Amino acid sequence: DNGIKLLAIDLGASSGRVMLGSFADGKVEVEEIHRFPNGPVEIAGQLHWDVQQLLQEMKQGIAAAAGRYGPLQSLSVDTWGVDYGLLDDQGELLYAPHHYRDQRMEGIASVLETALPPGEQFKLTGNQSSLINTVYQLFADLQGNPGLRGTARQLLMMPDLFHYMFSGVAAAEQTIWSTSGLLNADSTVPSEEVLRRLELPAELIPRLVPAGTVLGELRPALQEELGTGPLKIIAGASHDTASAVASIPYDSGSVGTGRISGLNPPQPAAAFISCGTWSLVGLETTEPVLSDEAFACGFTNESCFGGTNRLLKNITGLWLLQETQRSWTEAGEPLTHQEAAELAVNLDRSKADIAILDPNDPLFSTPGDMPLRIESYCIRTGQPVPQTRAEIIRSILESLALSYAGTIRELEAITGRTVSCIHMVGGGIQNKLLCQLTADATGKEVIAGPVEASAIGNIVVQLTALGAIQAPEARRVVARSCTPVRYQPAVSNYFYPQ
């Protein structure tokens, strides 16, 4: 038996990829079929998604996979959270969807927050308020262009939009919608209170479906154009972070209620860090955690495959390094990831002079000359300005590790659970120094893998939708398929306070 072949399309911050997933003998394998750029496009001073170009690239990848491997069973797209497109009454896109790093929300945030303060947003939706959230973007769009109230009929989150373009079926997949700030804290229905308070049209939200729902088939015209045969379009865990967390090979004993229980000591928990452009640091819990403490520490609650909750904090991640490298490349002196890691490892480990950055400082959140911004951050905070490339990289990585450690301590305090180990997944774990520094800074074992977390999570969720495996098997399939790399915390640790 040749097993099952399907496609996972993962649209990330720097590139999009069409990946072939193969399932045979209880294991999954992933192969990259087609990779293409996915940066924001500036149009008249605002940042947008290049939807048509992306569709074209995805089609190219699908056709290539079908040509090479024959019949494919299904396809599912995952992307980062919060972004969306608006459709008119003909089902046409009204305009190129905005990219969340666009800055049009800044002017209206205070108006929104007067009507619905961040603390209330958190209690109602479980989401930490953030200018990038769908709720802020939509509010800004409707304020800036009131005519949209007459023309917009449906709001599709980006994976929903691509699934709609492929299948003709519009639905709201739960994990991606759980990043919107528009759903109840359990992510099963829109929050009527939020919609009412902000005067947002409830009709825009399509029917919600859980991760792992077969929406329909690839439209016949596309089947013909791409030579695929009947291919199922699946709403998977279409938020890339939900897919990444679905790929973590821990057992279900790690999922606790998230409530501090005075009676039975709660089970130790495995925490996760999904490492990419963002670092998502958290714990999986059975219910949303809506305590004042969770709010005050900046945690958010999102939905996982299988209906569990993800209590996590968004920390600006390898974005800092990516933008730094982009600046160097533009200056004609590119540095590869590999070189970057090696350079930094070779630095003297006496860390007294390393500047520590707050990765979430607003200074770092938009595209720009990162080395220059790091310099001004250090001057502002009275720290030594890193002088060499190695020092800049080291400063970024140490800062990330320190903020992970602080977040893990907060998670322990908020849930009353001891974090026993940390699963790191995603492209960022190829940076071995970051993994080791994370073990050192937290004092916990780091279990790193899989690297292709979003793609593998996307694939195993599709397998459940196809009925090839049961949901609880998904993580065991990943565990059989990938061998993680373990990092022990350094024994003598003079830099990180434990």
- Chain centroid to CA 310: how far? 12
The SS3 of residue 281 is strand
Q: What binding mask, one character per residue, do residues 301-320 give for ligand LFR by CB under 6 A, x or -?
A: -------------x------
Residue 428: CB minimum distance to ligand LFR, A: 11
Kind and range of the H or E run holding 232 = strand 232-235
Q: Is 180 in the site for ligand LFR (CB under 6 A)?
A: no
**Could you give the CA distance from residue 453 to residue 276 in angstroms, rounded to a whole number?**
10
Q: Is 280 in the site for ligand LFR (CB under 6 A)?
A: yes
Per the CB < 8 A criterion, the answer to whether 261 and 413 are in contact is no
Residue 117: CB minimum distance to ligand LFR, A: 21
Count the residues of the shown chain that bind ligand LFR, applying the rule CB under 6 A.
14
Is the bond leading into 249 cis (omega within 30 degrees of zero)? no
CB neighbour class for 27 (10 Å; exposed up to 12, middle 13-18, buried from 19): middle
Q: Find all residues with CB under 8 Å of 166, minimum gap 6, and list them.
A: 75, 218, 219, 222, 233
Stretch that binds ligand LFR, among 39-47, 275-283, 320-328, 459-467 (CB under 6 A): 275-283
Both structure tokens of 461: 């969720």
Stretch that binds ligand LFR, among 29-37, 106-114, 147-155, 272-280 (CB under 6 A): 272-280
The SS3 of residue 358 is coil
- Within 404-433, the residues that bind ligand LFR by CB under 6 A are none
Cβ proximity to ligand LFR, 250 vs 278, nearer residue: 278
**Could you give the CA distance from residue 407 to residue 430 in angstroms, rounded to a whole number?**
22
Closest CA to 218 of 434, 16, 9, 491: 9
- Within 231-270, the residues that bind ligand LFR by CB under 6 A are 239-241
Cβ proximity to ligand LFR, 308 vs 420, nearer residue: 308
Q: Is 325 in the site for ligand LFR (CB under 6 A)?
A: no
Stretch that binds ligand LFR, among 76-84, 201-209, 219-227, 332-340 (CB under 6 A): 76-84
Q: Find all residues with CB under 8 Å of 62, minimum gap 6, and list them.
A: 7, 18, 72, 75, 226, 228, 231
Cβ proximity to ligand LFR, 38 vs 314, nearer residue: 314
Stretch that binds ligand LFR, among 77-85, 157-165, 250-258, 466-474 (CB under 6 A): 77-85
Residue 281: CB minimum distance to ligand LFR, A: 11
Give the active site residue among 83, 102, 240, 440. Answer: 240
Both structure tokens of 199: 């005067």
Q: Is 436 in the site for ligand LFR (CB under 6 A)?
A: no
Report DSSP letters for 411-447, one per residue. Answer: HHHHH---EEEEEEESGGGG-HHHHHHHHHHHTSEEE
User: Is 240 among the catalytic positions?
Assistant: yes
Cβ proximity to ligand LFR, 204 vs 318, nearer residue: 318
Q: Is 81 in the site for ligand LFR (CB under 6 A)?
A: yes
Q: Is 181 in the site for ligand LFR (CB under 6 A)?
A: no
Using CB under 6 A, which of 82, 226, 390, 435 touches ligand LFR?
82
Cβ proximity to ligand LFR, 245 vs 437, nearer residue: 245
Residue 364: CB minimum distance to ligand LFR, A: 14
Using CB under 6 A, which of 276, 306, 359, 449 touches ligand LFR?
276
Closest CA to 435 of 355, 427, 15, 255: 427
Per the CB < 8 A criterion, the answer to whether 279 and 317 are in contact is yes
Cβ proximity to ligand LFR, 50 vs 78, nearer residue: 78
Cβ proximity to ligand LFR, 4 vs 138, nearer residue: 138
Cβ proximity to ligand LFR, 179 vs 438, nearer residue: 179
Residue 62: CB minimum distance to ligand LFR, A: 23
Using CB under 6 A, which of 278, 299, 377, 404 touches ligand LFR?
278
Phi, psi of 139 (to 5 degrees): -60, -45
Residue 360: CB minimum distance to ligand LFR, A: 12
Residue 276: CB minimum distance to ligand LFR, A: 6
Both structure tokens of 126: 């479980």
Cβ proximity to ligand LFR, 138 vs 469, nearer residue: 138
Using CB under 6 A, which of 80, 136, 272, 487 touches ligand LFR?
80
Q: Where are the beta strands (DSSP E) in 257-398?
A: 269-275, 278-285, 300-303, 309-316
**Could you give the CA distance from residue 232 to residue 108 in angstroms, rounded to a whole number?**
41
Closest CA to 10 of 189, 208, 246: 246
Closest CA to 80 of 42, 116, 134, 35: 134
- Within 112-141, the residues that bind ligand LFR by CB under 6 A are 132
Q: Which residues bind ligand LFR (CB under 6 A)?
A: 80-82, 100, 132, 179, 239-241, 276-278, 280, 314
Positions marked active-site = 240
